[in-house]
Amino acid sequence: MPKPTEKPKFNRRNPCIATLKETWELTKGCQAKDTRHFTVDLAATGLDYLPGDSLAVLPQNCPATAETLLTQLGLSGDEPVTPAGADQTKPIRQAFLEDCVITIPDKKVMRAIAEKAGNEGAQLAALLQPEEKAKLADYLWGREIIDLLAEHPSASFEAQEFVGLLKKLNVRLYSISSSLEACSEEVHLTVATVEYESHGRKRKGVCSTWLAQRIDEDTKIPCFISPGKGFRLPDPEDETPIIMVGPGTGIAPFRAFLQHRKATHAKGKAWLFFGEINAATTFFYRDEFESYLADGTLDRMDTAFSRDQADKIYVQHRILEAGAEFYKWLENGAIVYVCGDANRMAGDVDQAIHQLLSEHGGMSEEAAAEYVEQMKAEKRYRRDVY
């Protein structure tokens, strides 16, 4: 196993400043999503990392979102304010861009809007009662602070009063998709742009759209490493096989793993499962992964392109199709790594592993559950899901 990084040099309060070197679309020609590769230049930073780490990025808010909010509040944008944690005043427009969460509302903001709106706020106030948690979650789905203000026009705020309600803009984590052994002084990211429409407005995920749409080579990117403590490779000399399951952006750490294993001549066998929408437009890093198959860095790659046929095919279907072989690898001590969507994929893959244990290992439900628990206890089942 590579040595864990020493105490990180940079953190949330003291990020390093990196710059963008290169970016390209990984989903060219695909209408359904926009996922991009980013190469961030670390030359001036002294930042280092290990495969399995994530990069924490401190983004800026979208100027159009900030302007809409200012208009809704009846503010010019020039009003001086001191955002939480800051020691200097700045115009509220700048605070909205750099310092404050201006999209997703928390209870403090909601409570203040409900109070200021008087009778108009009674329904929102009722939703804030502890027993209405589920109804509140339903109400909030797809709603941002701007929507709450628009629905409660009588709630009015002074500039500082409003800024005082807002949480500090926080970092977003991205699994690093490169290895320093292969890409010295660079960190690569694989980022899906979050954009959707709700309640008649176009919404933009703060950090993914900042990276995809609002930065260039001159932009300062405040960032630091978030160590992926549980997501580490075996030592290159160690012959333990590894199985990597990474649909969508879940592929990111496995590109880092494979770059690292190639550079360090890792001995154990490696098997990759990748899934995306279709082979023609969303087979991320295809040439690179095929070269790993050709040179033996990768022993096997199974792909699941969900929309290339009438019925959805996902990574867990490929795992089940290869169940006998998968079981053999498990019996040979393989470590299973899973990365990507936490909401559905991770659970479905987990279920597929239980199913193949019963189909190919002849285990009862209880025995399969015990087997998986044992894998977890031995750190042979590691998940990095979001």
Ligand X SMILES: Cc1cc2nc3c(=O)[nH]c(=O)nc-3n(C[C@H](O)[C@H](O)[C@H](O)COP(=O)(O)OP(=O)(O)OC[C@H]3O[C@@H](n4cnc5c(N)ncnc54)[C@H](O)[C@@H]3O)c2cc1C
Query: Residues in the site for ligand NAP, rule: CB under 6 A?
Result: 33, 35, 192, 194-196, 247-249, 275-277, 306-307, 312, 314-316, 340-341, 343-345, 348
How far does the chain reach from its first CA to its final CA, in angstroms? 24
Could you say whether residue 60 binds ligand X (CB under 6 A)?
no
DSSP 338: E
Residue 339: closest CA among 191, 207, 172, 175: 175
User: Considering only residues 73, 192, 304, 335, which one is a binding residue for ligand X as defined by CB under 6 A?
Assistant: 192
Least distance (Å) between residue 241 CB and ligand NAP: 22
Residue 187: closest CA among 287, 10, 37, 297: 37
User: Considering only residues 27, 60, 190, 297, which one is a binding residue for ligand X as defined by CB under 6 A?
Assistant: 190
Residues 6+ apart with CB under 8 A from 99: 83, 84, 85, 86, 168, 169
User: Considering only residues 174, 271, 273, 289, which one is a binding residue for ligand X as defined by CB under 6 A?
Assistant: 174
DSSP 378: T
Residue 140: closest CA among 194, 198, 100: 198
Burial class (CB in 10 A: 0-12, 13-18, 19+), 146: buried
User: Considering only residues 23, 178, 208, 303, which one is a binding residue for ligand X as defined by CB under 6 A?
Assistant: 208
Supply 16's token pair. 């390093």
**Sign of the four-CA dihedral 12, 16, 18, 24:** negative
The listed partner (ligand NAP, ligand X, none) that binds 195, CB under 5 to 8 Å by sort, is ligand NAP
Cα-based distances in Å from 81 to 69, 100, 191: 15, 11, 33
What is the CA angle 127-172-110, rounded to 5?
20
Considering just the CA atoms, what is the radius of gyration of the chain in Å?
A: 24
Q: Which stretch binds ligand X (CB under 6 A): 151-159, 198-206, 274-282, 330-338?
A: 198-206
Supply 29's token pair. 């020609």
Least distance (Å) between residue 156 CB and ligand X: 26
Least distance (Å) between residue 193 CB and ligand NAP: 7
Least distance (Å) between residue 278 CB and ligand NAP: 8
Position closest to ligand NAP via CB: 248
Least distance (Å) between residue 344 CB and ligand NAP: 3
Question: Of how many residues is the chain composed?
Answer: 386
Least distance (Å) between residue 129 CB and ligand X: 22
Look at the block and give the residue holding tokens 């339903």: 138
Q: Which stretch binds ligand X (CB under 6 A): 187-195, 261-269, 361-369, 370-378?
A: 187-195
Tell me the site size for ligand X, rule CB under 6 A: 23
Least distance (Å) between residue 253 CB and ligand NAP: 12
Which residues 144-173 are close enough to bind ligand X by CB under 6 A? 172-173
Which residues 217-276 are close enough to bind ligand X by CB under 6 A? 249, 252
Burial class (CB in 10 A: 0-12, 13-18, 19+), 183: middle
Could you say whether residue 306 binds ligand X (CB under 6 A)?
no
The listed partner (ligand NAP, ligand X, none) that binds 173, CB under 5 to 8 Å by sort, is ligand X
Which residues 66-105 are close enough to bind ligand X by CB under 6 A? 103-104
Q: Give the containing element (helix H, strand E) for 57.
A: strand 54-57
Q: How would you classify the pairing of strands 381-385 and 335-340?
A: parallel
The listed partner (ligand X, ligand NAP, none) that binds 100, CB under 5 to 8 Å by sort, is none
Kindly list the residues in this chain that would bind ligand X in the complex (CB under 6 A): 54, 103-104, 141-142, 172-175, 190-192, 194, 196, 198, 205-208, 249, 252, 384, 386
